[in-house]
């Protein structure tokens, strides 16, 4: 099974800061990685698919990069509404899917 490890597990940043979250796969998964945002009490929302493609309607301050085993999710300028938990998810191991453990983002 492919394991996904996110870091950090939690993060505190100020409005306007650049925020970066990393996701490491236990083996090469090419670009088969997605990123989701989950606000408290809500369902997850797809932000980035195939490692770097922005989902329609998602603000351009969100971006993703990486391939192989190492991936990065970035918010270029943190906004108050970005407070949420972020998850990576791999689909190289179809028909099974694995999520990272999540990164909780808070405002400093």
Partner 1 sequence: EVQLVESGGGLVQPGGSLRLSCAASGFTFSSYWMHWVRQAPGKGLVWVSRISSDGGSTTYADSVKGRFTISRDNAKNTVYLQMNSLRVEDTAVYYCASGGSVRFFEYWGQGTLVTVSS
Decide whether 19 or 35 has the Cβ nearer to partner 1. 35
Write each residue from 35 to 54 as x if it is in contact with partner 1 (CB under 8 A), else as -, in one continuous string.
-x-x---xxxxx--xx----
In sequence order, what are the beta bridge partners of 34?
A: 89
Decide whether 78 or 89 has the Cβ nearer to partner 1. 89
The upper half-sphere exposure of residue 29, i.e. CA atoms within 13 Å in the direction of its Cβ, equals 28
Reading the block at residue 9, the tokens are 């597990």
The rounded radius of gyration (Å) of the Cα atoms in the chain is 13
Binding residues for partner 1, per CB under 8 A? 32, 34, 36, 38, 42-46, 49-50, 55, 87, 89, 91, 94-102
């Amino acid at each position: 099974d492919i394991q996904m490890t996110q870091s950090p597990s939690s993060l505190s940043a100020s409005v306007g800061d650049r925020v970066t979250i990393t996701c490491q796969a236990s083996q090469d998964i090419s670009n088969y990685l997605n990123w989701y945002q989950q606000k408290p009490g809500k369902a997850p929302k797809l932000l980035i698919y195939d490692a770097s493609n922005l989902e329609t309607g998602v603000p351009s301050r969100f971006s993703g990069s990486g391939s192989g085993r190492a991936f990065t999710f970035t918010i270029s300028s943190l906004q108050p509404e970005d407070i949420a938990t972020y998850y990576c998810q791999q689909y190289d191991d179809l028909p099974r899917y694995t999520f990272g453990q999540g990164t909780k983002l808070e405002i400093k």
